[in-house]
């Protein structure tokens, strides 16, 4: 297992069968945030998939080499850019022989760093979403807790959403509970409390950090509940249809939906299936949570107050 940037072989099981897992770690000024949390989940996920996890030394060396290659472009400021660190572990060669892993196979580890640029409109305008795609909380993959490399269901869901003129797809369980975006966790505000999906979604490190920060908040201001975002719950936070021109606008509900990921941070969903969520604009709960998250990143990395913004 070489901790560098190997090229997968033509029969790599990750390439042919999606037999592997990954982690994506945000970089701020070339420095990884939450590295230990990601490495712990990466190694735990490898064990859950029956793969030999890389040693701490292998991972550290891979990260060091990848970060050393993330240098500013010619003529750019000398400060290393914001970006992402991608760790991928596959079951190695042997994919051409069928689904069963060959005995004695050696996993392939790849660690790559790259720049990442976001769209400020994600936070100022929010995202439009549609319901597309399914997540089975009882599947072996979902129960493994690993970020596996087979994203075809999510790719097709996002393709459906983009074809409908939306930015994002929201995936649901067979019972109809919305649980996550195509590559992000979901949380929502019903006007009184925050709620997380009951089942089906990979535990989010972004939300874990937010919950740690909210422990010091007034529970009456931002507390946690356990309400599924199913059809009736979603209906309660979507704006009603408008009447004929000139008629009074229906009252706007106060709910909010947010998507959380390590690269996009926290992003508000302002429309689902063509109907406004709450006011149809990024709401006050989103702004408060985003502020808490950015403060946490600055504190963890020892960065000045204006050095970490919505990416």
Tell me the pLDDT tens digit for each residue of 23-79: 999 999 889 999 999 999 999 999 999 999 999 999 999 999 999 887 666 665 555
Percent share of the chain, pLDDT over 90: 68
- pLDDT digit string, tens, across residues 174-224: 999 999 999 999 999 999 999 998 776 788 999 999 999 887 665 445 678
Please tell me the predicted confidence (pLDDT) of residue 219: 45
Please tell me the predicted confidence (pLDDT) of residue 198: 79
Beta bridge partners of 83: 27, 115
**What domains are there in the chain, each with its CATH number?**
13-115 (3.30.470.10), 121-243+250-301 (3.20.10.10)
- pLDDT digit string, tens, across residues 259-310: 999 999 999 999 999 999 999 999 999 999 999 999 999 999 998 766 666 5
Please tell me the predicted confidence (pLDDT) of residue 239: 84
pTM, full prediction? 0.89
Mean pLDDT, all residues of the chain: 88
């Amino acid at each position: 297992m070489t901790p560098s940037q190997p090229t997968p072989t033509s029969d790599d099981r990750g390439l042919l069968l999606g037999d592997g897992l990954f982690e994506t770690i945000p970089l701020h000024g070339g420095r990884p945030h939450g590295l230990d949390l990601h490495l712990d989940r990466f190694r735990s996920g490898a064990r859950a998939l029956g793969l030999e996890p890389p040693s701490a030394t292998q991972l550290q060396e891979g990260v060091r080499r990848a970060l050393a290659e993330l240098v500013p472009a010619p003529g750019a400021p000398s400060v290393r850019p914001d970006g992402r660190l991608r760790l991928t572990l596959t079951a190695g060669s042997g994919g051409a022989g069928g689904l069963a892993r060959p005995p004695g196979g050696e996993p392939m580890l790849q660690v790559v760093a790259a720049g990442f640029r976001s769209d400020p409109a994600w936070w100022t305008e929010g995202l439009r979403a549609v319901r597309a795609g399914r997540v089975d909380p009882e599947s072996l993959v979902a129960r493994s807790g690993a970020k596996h490399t087979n994203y075809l269901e999510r790719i097709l869901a996002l393709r459906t959403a983009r074809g409908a003129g939306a930015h994002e797809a929201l995936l649901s369980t067979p019972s109809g509970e919305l649980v996550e975006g195509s590559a992000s966790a979901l949380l929502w505000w019903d006007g009184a409390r925050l709620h997380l999906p009951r089942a089906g979604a990979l535990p989010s490190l972004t939300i874990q950090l937010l919950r740690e920060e909210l422990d010091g908040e007034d529970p009456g201001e931002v507390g946690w509940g356990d309400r599924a975002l199913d059809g009736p719950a979603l209906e309660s936070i979507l704006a009603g249809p408008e009447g004929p021109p000139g008629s009074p606008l229906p009252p706007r509900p106060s709910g909010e939906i947010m998507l959380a990921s390590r690269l996009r941070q926290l992003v508000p969903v302002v429309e689902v299936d063509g109907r406004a969520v709450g006011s149809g604009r990024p709401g006050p709960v989103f702004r408060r949570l985003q502020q808490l998250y950015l403060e946490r990143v600055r504190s963890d990395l020892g960065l000045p107050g204006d050095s970490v913004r919505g990416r």
